[in-house]
Every structure is written in C-alpha cells, then in structure tokens.
Structure 1
C-alpha cells in the first residue's frame, strides 16, 4: 500500500512538471508573431512627421531622399523627388503590410517609387519593394535590408523626419532635368556644361532613374575640336535646388583646373535648336558650382566622343530592334518592307577581300534559300565633329547573292530616315555602341562595334 501511495505522488509531480514546461510562454506562437507585427506597426506610425530615408539602391548609383508617413491602418504616404513618368512618384498614398516569414517583412503593396526603380535595367537594378526588418537602433532608427538582394543586400535606415525635411526634396530640379533629358529623342541625354568665366566645356549625360552623371569629355570653349577624354562616372543626390556628386570631379581639364562637387541651379529657360523645318524646343539651366563659378547646363547635339566611331572600328551592325522610330521599335516595319532583313550594317573604310575599301550602309538579308545578300548604298562621308553627312551613290549595290527575295529599293526608306536633311549626329553610348540620330525625323540607329 505504501508503495502504491509513493507511485501516485510521483505521477502527480511528473504531471506538474509537464504542465510547467508547457506554460513557459504565456502566449502561443501565433500570438507572439501578431504582437511583434503590431509592435513594428506602432513604431512605424509613431513619429509625427514620419520617417526620412536616404535610399541608394546599389553601389555606384546615386541616392534619393524619401519621406514615408505610416499609419496604423496599413496606409503609407511616400514622397520623393523622382521626376520620371510625369512626376507620378512625387507623392503616393499606398498600402503596406507587415508579414512574418523568417522574420518581419515590410511590403509596399502597390506600384510605387520602389517598384519603378526595381524595374530598371529589366529588373536587374538593385532596387526593391520588400524589406526584411533588421533592428531598432538605440537612437530609435528602424533598420531594414532588401529582401531579394542575396549577394549584396541594400541597408535602409529609417530616421525620424523633421517638419522641414520636405525641403530636401528637389521636385522642381528633378522635373526640369527630366524635361531636359527628353529634349532629344535619343537613348541617353546629351548635355553641355559651360563654365561662363572659364575656357571650359564638359560634355555629359545624366541618368535620372539611377541618379548617375557620366562626364565623357572636356573641351575649350575657344577650340571645341580639341577634346580631352575624361570617362568620369559618379552617383549624385538631389537636395533642394542642388545636384551633389558622390565623388567630386577634380583635376585639370582642357587646361583648366576645377574641383566640381555640386551645382546649385536657379534659372530654367526654353531654348531651341534651329536645324530642322520645325525648331526643336530645348532647355538651359543656369547655376553656380560649389566654387561659386557660374555655369550653364544645356541640351546639345554636340557629343565630343561621338566622332570616335570612325577610328574605333571599320564595321558596325544594328539589330533591327535597335532601330527606333521616335521611341518605338521599327523592327516589324522593316521586316515587312524588306523581306528577310536581319540587321543594318555600316562599313566604314572597310578593307574587302580584293583590297578595296568600302564605305557602305544597308541591310543584310537572309533569303529563302539561306543565302545572304547585303543591299546597300556606297557613300562618301564628311565628318564634322559628331555630325556625319552621307553622300550616297545613285545606285543600290549588293554583296553576296545578287538575287534576293527582298525589294531592295525599300532600303531607301530607312536610309532617308537616318540622313534626311544631312542632319545625322553620332553619340557614344557605352564602350562598343554608338547612336546615330536624326533629330529632325526622330529616328535613332544604335550600332554595335563588330570588331
């Protein structure tokens, strides 16, 4: 009987221990997750003026100031100074949610500023619209990291905003620069920065979506034929009325020493390029540098490195998808007009098998019997800086199979779009690519160095 009594005591003790183990947490796992989500939502909604974020999607690119104001009903107001898409991203009222997977996640549910940047470069740019929550700092900042950037995740630090942080956003400056980038129907902007009190020009391009500046070359105002290659690229930030370089441009350029860290812009005016039947409306933007030097940024057809195509290679090709009619691919139209056309080719002083030299522009055609025909016009070029004049022969010539399925007379449709009015300008895009553009027709042909 005594043994039976002891056994019952042991059973009661063991049962009590199990109950204590089960009740270590006063809440279930789901309840704890819900509490963590609510705590982060409370933190996000707490600041009276919301949060300030300086967002750099990837190394080498520039930064954006972003203001975010969350509420506890899963709504967020986002303000930026990204001028793309007619200012759609200046201010957006969207929804968000906090999820829990391996940790807490902040997800912007609607198409937003973050979504737009995510899509750049065919969604290979380092932007994101879903963020893993990392921690809250002793100063009260909220730290997130991009969710899908596995190799080099972007860190985002939400700092409590002040009532005056709206002044950081340079909506006017961003919008004006975006308008300038659209002055010409070309892939990359083409600007000239004139130092009004120095004998110096800088030729550059801006990428508004990535916030990068590419200064390709410099020249003297007094002698634009003498070019100094620079090949300088930096990210930049817009802050109010100023464009601030992440990396200053410092040194001697075309004989002038400068240290360019920022430009504060002021007056934005309409200008025009008067080489076409209808003048092309362009813009100019005046300002002063960090060294208080007056400068003018203006759209230009000049591209100091464009003329280098003539010495870099003697053969270029343009896939049909790289032929653009005022922003729209002309590939389908070309294939309908020139049966079997696969690419446009530019022979520029190319030595042929017989030792002769060829300047020729036309299309390579694949015939139904798989033979090839190159239908082209010979030309004599006149190259003045980055403006090229094609003086075409009166007859269309062929290389390869002279018997072709195509109506080769229709190559003239596209040669005319490129050369109309002798207004063809060449712009260097990247190392092996040049854009041949006619601003009067709005057509562009991007040729790739085949050598």
Structure 2
C-alpha cells in the first residue's frame, strides 16, 4: 500500500481558517464548515448500496486482508472480513463508528472489531489502525490515511465501491484450515502463529514444504524433494532448497501470492502463483512410539502444481537450520516449555540458579576436535560465563534431527557439583527424550527456530 503525505490535512486546515479577503465575511463559521464536512463524509460512506471494499495491507511487510464495510446512518457499520480468529468473531460483525474532526475529517471505529485486533498484533507493532483521516476522493474511491502511523510512514487506504458478489470472495474455509495447521508452532512467548504444510504433488510424487505466517499473511517455500513421506525423502536424498518468501492475499478460498515462486526438481519446473485451500480433514499421525499428534489435511488441484494432498506436518524437507562449523544457537532459558506450554525455567533454576541462557552448539572446535552439544550458560561469582554442555552425535535430514548423547561433555566450571552434573543430564534428557527432534523455521524474525520433541511434547526456541 503506497504512503502519502498529509497534504489533504493542510488543505483542510487552510479551508477552515479562512482567508482575509473580500469574501471572508460571507463564509460560514468554522463550526458550520466542520459540521458540513462531517455530514458530507457520512453521506459518502452510506451511499453505496453494497458498501465499500478495502483490500487492506497494514504495511508493506504484510499481505492483504479483504474487508467489506457497509455504513449505516445510525452510526453502525457492518464489517465482513477474512480474519477468522476469535472463533470467527470478525467474519461478520457490527460495530459503532464516529466521524470527527481533529487532524482533519476523521473516521474512527469506536467499538472493538477486526481493525482493533490487527492493531493489537505483535504488541501493537503490526501496523494496523482503526482511526483514519479522510484525504478526499479519487476516481470514485474514498481515500483515507492512517492517523496512528508515524508522519514519515503513513499508510493510504482506498475504500472502493463494493459489488454484491464481493462477499463471495471472503475465504473463511482457507483461513480456518491454515490456522488449524499451526501444529506445535503455537503462539508461545508472543512470537506469532505459523502453519507448516507439506504439499504432496501426486503426479510427480514430490513433497513441497511450506510455512505460513498467519498473522503477517506471508508464506515461505522451503524446499522440494522426491517422495511422499519423511522416510521416502530421507531414503531418496533428492532435495532441492527453494528458500523464497512472499506475502499473499486470500480470494475465493485461494492463497494468491504477491510474487510467483519457482520450484525445480529433476528438470520439472513449477511456477506457483496461487494455491487452492480446501476444508480441513482431521486425523492422527504418530511421530514417536506410543504418541499421536492431530494433523489436518486437504486435497485440491490447480494448473500450477497439478493434483496434490496437503498436510500439516512437523517435517520440512529443508529449512535454514543448517549444521555448519561454529554454529551456536542461543535463547533465554525461560523460552523452554513442557507439554502444557509452561516454561520449565523453575526446574532449570533449581539446578543452575545463575543461568543466563540455553545454548545449542554445532561443529565447534574444542581441543583439536569438533564438538556438538546442548546445555546451559551460568555466571559465576565474578560474573564470568561458565558452560555446562552435554555432547551428542547426530544425523540430520531436512529439519529432522536424531540425537545420541555421547558422554563427551564440556564443563568449564572447575569444581562442578554432583547436583549440577546430574541436573544437566536430567534436564537434557527431559528436552530430548527419544532422541528425535524437529526444528521448525519461523518467519517473523530472521534466524528464529522452534525445536519440538514429539515423544514428550517439550519444545523451545533457538536463535
């Protein structure tokens, strides 16, 4: 959405102020002119029979939300949207609006609705707005700007006369399905809401891995591989990374990419412009012996990738969690969670009272050997960092990592207590029970990942 200056506001103020000329004595009072301007905007808003369509993009970093507005003379507005959170409360709702004058003629959504929800996302840093300054008309559209944006980065919004059929374009099924595919990437720590889906391209027997940022309306295509299941992909070892991200909109139950994405495998080239999304079918999948997780799937087809079945999945055929020399991932220990999404920080602090971080090392050179390990960093009485790291061997395919602790631990504390040594083993056993971990790429922060243990549902972030 393009950005604008507040030229319209300046013109509005000048008009209200009047000029010292021969005709000044005949002008209506400022109060009368404000009242006229307010009524004129109210008349414009309530005029179209089918209301207004807003293809709403809060910032250039987000995708587009479809919002329909039908204003009434009684100060209420019916709002339809393709935002399906809060049990569908924002799909079709009526709230109060007000037309006021402060920085110009303003349209204010008074009671809580979809605009307020978008405004509050990411601790109110998402870029949404619910107070709009009227800038004028352009080719039959009403042009508004955001009142709450900073002056050097103001969002313009175009209210376009809606057609009676625009409501048919609202994609309530697609947004629900994508939301149910969040799997284990719940909104822990306010990080965001993400859906991970694998698209099995049935005509070629390929697996295409994606991750959807459901708040920002962005999708990343991670990679494409030969095979339909995790075991087949691992056995074939024919994987091509894509690593491309784009924002999207939703229309008539389709994800419409703002930029096309190209995927290539075995000489087959796919240019992907859109993805149809079907109604979710729930089922169970076992990622660990005696454990079951709920997944959703749907089937569809289009000219871009042919017939496919898409399923929410822990497995991603590729992502940016790379095992390269001297990799260190680190996070505050409070961002480690149990199966009920409660932080296990109390358990960690009971062993290491002065803990400052959880760390995961790959390929670090220690004493002429390569070290892989996980554990904790603590501060000693002199504020020096001491490391309690448990060594492991591993294999990795895509984001699936198998870990075996090898006894090659790295303890820098000169005189560790037995409680500390036993606690390190107990805590790392808790996090890595079963030795099979999935590391999921998240989108809204570069370099942020979530690791998930399907055997006991413990999880944590890595950065």
* Structure-1-length-normalised TM-score: 0.85
In the alignment, structure 1 residue 159 sits paired with structure 2 residue 174:
no
- Give the Cα separation in 1 of the matches to 2:136 and 2:274: 34
Q: How far has the Cα of 1:181 moved from its partner?
A: 1.8
Q: Report if the CA contact (8 A) 1:307-1:385 is conserved.
A: no
Deviations 1:72-127 (Å, cap 9, x if unpaired)? Answer: 23222211111223323212222221221231111112332222222333333232
Counterpart contact for 1:136–1:143, Cα < 8 Å: yes
- Paired with 2:21 and 2:408, the residues of 1 have a C-alpha distance of 98
Q: How does 1:290-301 map to 2 (within 5 A)?
A: 290-291=303-304, 293-301=306-314
Q: Match for residue 145 of structure 2?
A: 145
CA drift of 1:390 comes to 2.6
Spell out, residue by residue over 1:173-201, the C-alpha distance to the aligned partner (whole angstroms, 9 max, x if none): 21111111246558643211121112432
**In the alignment, what sits opposite 1:124?**
125
CA deviations over 1:267-318 (Å, ceiling 9, x no partner):
5322322134331010111111244711221112222234852126433222
How far apart are 1:426 and its partner, in Å? 1.8
| Unpaired stretches in structure 1, ≥5 consecutive residues | 1-17
1:82 aligns with 2:83: yes
- For 1:14, the equivalent position in structure 2 comes to none
Note the C-alpha offset of 1:376.
2.9
Which residue in the other structure is 1:190 paired with?
196
Aligned CA distance change for structure 1 residues 98 and 234 (closer, same or farther; 3 Å): same
Cα 1:372/1:427, change in 2 over 3 Å: same
Unaligned 5+ runs, structure 2? 1-19, 188-192
Structure 1 partner of 2:207: 201
**Partner Cα separation in structure 2 for residue 128 and residue 162 of structure 1:** 24
Alignment-derived partner of residue 173 in structure 2: 172
Aligned with 2:377 (options 351, 354, 364): 364
Once residues 319 and 430 of structure 2 are traced to their aligned partners in structure 1, the CA distance between those partners, rounded to angstroms, is 19
Give 2:349's match in structure 1, choosing from 335, 350, 368.
335
Per-residue deviation, residues 226-245 of structure 1 (Å, max 9, x unmatched)? 22221211221111222211
Shift of 1:384: 4.3
- String of CA shifts for 1:343-364, please: whole Å, max 9, x gaps: 1122323212x32332222111
Q: Does 1:100 align with 2:101?
A: yes
The answer as to 2:348 corresponding to 1:311 is no
SS at match of 1:260: strand
Structure 1 counterpart of 2:282: 270
Structure 2 distance, partners of 1:363, 1:51, is 55
CA distance in 1, matches of 2:114, 2:412: 51
Q: 2:262 aligns with which of 250, 254, 260?
A: 250
Aligned-partner Cα distance in 2 for 1:73–1:200: 56
**Residue 400 of structure 1 aligns to a residue in which SS?**
coil
Change beyond 3 A, Cα 1:264–1:381: closer
Q: 1:113-144 deviations in whole A, cap 9, x for unaligned?
A: 222222333333232221111112342x2111
Please give the alpha-carbon distance, in whole angstroms, between the structure 2 residues aligned to 1:255 and 1:22.
75
Match in the other structure for 2:403: 390
- Equivalents in 2 of 1:176, 1:445: separation in Å? 25
Match of 1:23 in 2: 25
Q: After superposition, where does 1:337-356 map in structure 2 within 5 Å? A: 337-352=351-366, 354-356=367-369
CA contact under 8 A between 1:339 and 1:405: conserved in structure 2?
no
Aligned CA distance change for structure 1 residues 33 and 265 (closer, same or farther; 3 Å):
same
| Cα 1:404–1:342 shift into 2, 3 Å | farther
Using the TM superposition, name which of 260-269 and 306-315 deviates more: 306-315
Give the whole-Å Cα distance in 1 for the aligned partners of 2:163 and 2:24. Answer: 47
CA distance in 2, matches of 1:226, 1:309: 17
Indicate the larger mover: 69-78 or 330-339.
330-339
Between stretches 152-161 and 178-187, larger displacement belongs to 178-187
Contact 1:145 1:156 in 2 (8 A): yes
Partner of 1:7: none
**8 Å CA contact retained: 1:219, 1:254:** no
Secondary structure of 1:383's aligned partner: strand
Q: Which moved further from structure 2: 85-94 or 231-240?
A: 85-94
Q: Post-superposition shift, 1:408? A: 4.8
Q: Which residue of the partner structure matches residue 3 of structure 2?
A: none
Instruction: Indicate the RMSD between aligned Cα atoms, in angstroms.
Output: 2.9
For 1:126 and 1:306, how far apart are their aligned partners in 2? Answer: 28
Under a length normalisation based on structure 2, what TM-score does the superposition of the two structures give? 0.83
| Alpha-carbon distance in 2 for matches of 1:333, 1:113 | 40
1:351 & 1:20 partners in 2: Cα distance? Answer: 85
Q: Residues 349-397 of structure 1: CA distance to partner in whole angstroms, max 9, x if unpaired?
A: 3212x32332222111113443433223222223344322332256976
Aligned residues between the structures: 428
User: Do 2:57 and 2:64's aligned partners in 1 also have CA atoms closer than 8 Å?
Assistant: yes
Work out the CA distance in 2 between the residues paired with 1:251 and 1:190: 18
